[in-house]
Structures are given as structure tokens and as C-alpha cells.
Structure 1
Amino acid sequence: MDNSRIESFIRKQNVAFICSVDETGYPNVKAMLKPRKIDGLHQFYFSTNTSSMRVKQYMNNPNACIYFYHKGLIKYTGVMLKGTMEVLTDQKTKDMIWRKGDTMFYKGGVTDPDYCVLRFTAESGRYYCDLETESFTIE
């Protein structure tokens, strides 16, 4: 499977699972809306609350993975990407992924201190489809 087909698959998904590591070293998983911005298979941008548990975990340990899947009638396809997650609070990045309806989540608007951006940078991945798996690197 080439990386462009994997990226195309990811762009079609509406949900992403993001994984962090808690203070005791255990993985934590959370379903999120799809990334606000995708730069190839290299970087993915999500919006979240600065006050969230996940932000604290990423600040303490940036190791992360994200997972996308599609369950068809007879075929299951999934992609896991491993890398690091950064918590970004600069206004330029916040402006870049802001959407009109976001005030529903961030009452203070685009400058709300409780609004931040998670930027995931992928290093490698694993693709699964029809009982076949394939590992790949991201350059």
C-alpha cells in the first residue's frame, strides 16, 4: 500500500482515535472528530481544550499514536500512526484551524485561553486490511 492511498483513506474518515500516555505509563485512548488539517501523512492538527486531561498528558509525555478505521460490510481497514503530539497555543496556529461554529466549544472565541491545537507528527505507521498488515515509515 503506498502512502498516497493511505492518506486518501485517512481523509475519508470522520473520527480519529488519539492515544496518550498517562502518569502511570498506561495508554489512554479518546475518539475525536477528524483532524482539522492534514499535511500528507506527516502532520495532523486537532482542536481541543487547554484544560483537558489529554493536554496535560501530552505535555508530560509527547509519545502518541492516532488511529483511523473503516468497518465495511465484510472488510475492515485500519491505519495506526506513531509519533509525537505537541500542544500549540500560538495565535497563528489557532487561527489556522479555527472554524465558524467553534464558539460552541470555546466560548471566548479564537482567543479563548481554553482553546489550543494538538499537532501530531507521525514517524511510522501500520496499515491493516483483509487480514493483512504492513508497516511503513513516514519521510
Structure 2
Amino acid sequence: MTIQEKAAQMIDNVQIITLASINEKGYPRPVPMVKLKAEFGAIYVATGTSSEKTAHFRANPKAGLSIVEGGNSIVYTGEVVIVTDEAIKRSLWSEWMSEHFPGGVEDPEYCVLKFTPISATYWIDGEFIKS
């Protein structure tokens, strides 16, 4: 199995990722988040429409994402878009989100972010690769 295949398995298995935005002073702001879905290289998370993260990504789409599982890690550099497609937002909705978004999938505070990697650094099973 290649390191990229091992990385894909890690991404499928992990529940919590760390997503970093760039704040208004130019510093990274990493935040642990629940991974909603990973598909075709993109990773989706939910946050509040009025959150700091969302404001940061509106101003600057550049992002970093890290995943740690055991002694293995993946670090991505890429960009975030704010998903406005209602069908995608509906498909990613889970009941546990009601605690954060009491208005459900139509809550105006419910916001989905889509991270797409541009480059990767893998440390998996003692193998280190940058791509």
C-alpha cells in the first residue's frame, strides 16, 4: 500500500481534524473540528456563519489542515471555500448539529467549509513524503 493510500485510509477513519485560518494580524489560527465528509480530496466541516473562522476565510481562503492518528500525521496546505449549495449542506447535516444550530439545516448560522489541499506532507509508518 502506498503512503497516499494509507493517508486516504487515515482521512476516512479520523473524526477530528485541525483546520487553521489566517487571522486579521496574519497569524495562523488552528481549531480542532469534526470532519463531516472527505470526498475527491476535499474535506468538509461545519461552523457558524458568524464565527472567526468564517470571517478569516472570507478575507483569505488560504488554510492549513492537519490530521493525527497514533504516530502518523498528514499536513495539508490549501484553500477553503464557503459552501452555499443548499443540496450539499443538506447532505452533510447530522442531528448532533442541532445543539449548535437549533434551527436545523435551514439555520442561517449553519455554515459549511470545504477545504481543498494544494500540497501535502505525510509522516506515516516511519515514511516521510512531501508532495
Q: For residues 37 and 14 of structure 1, what CA distance do their matches in structure 2 show?
A: 9
Q: Equivalent residue for 1:36?
A: 36
**Letter of the 1:88 counterpart:** V
Number of residues paired by the alignment? 130
2:11 touches 2:38 (CA, 8 Å); kept in 1?
no
1:1-44 residue CA offsets vs partner (Å, 9 max, x unmatched): 432221101222221000110111111100112x211114x211
CA 16–135 in structure 1, closer or farther in 2 if over 3 Å, else same: same
Q: Equivalent residue for 1:14?
A: 15
- After superposition, where does 1:76-91 map in structure 2 within 5 Å? 76-91=71-86
2:102 to 89, 96, 107: 107
Q: Equivalent residue for 1:119?
A: 114
| % same residue | 28
TM-score (norm 1): 0.86
TM-score (norm 2): 0.91
Q: Equivalent residue for 1:57?
A: 56
Is 2:4 aligned against 1:3?
yes
Q: Secondary structure at the match of 1:10?
A: helix
1:38-72 residue CA offsets vs partner (Å, 9 max, x unmatched): 114x211111111100000001000001100023x
- Kindly state the Cα deviation for residue 90 of structure 1 after the two structures are TM-superposed: 3.0
1:83-112 residue CA offsets vs partner (Å, 9 max, x unmatched): 100112331221010012321110111001
Q: For residues 57 and 84 of structure 1, what CA distance do their matches in structure 2 show?
A: 12
Structure 2: gaps of 5 or more residues? none
Q: Secondary structure at the match of 2:120?
A: strand
Q: For residues 99 and 7 of structure 2, what CA distance do their matches in structure 1 show?
A: 32
2:76 touches 2:117 (CA, 8 Å); kept in 1?
yes
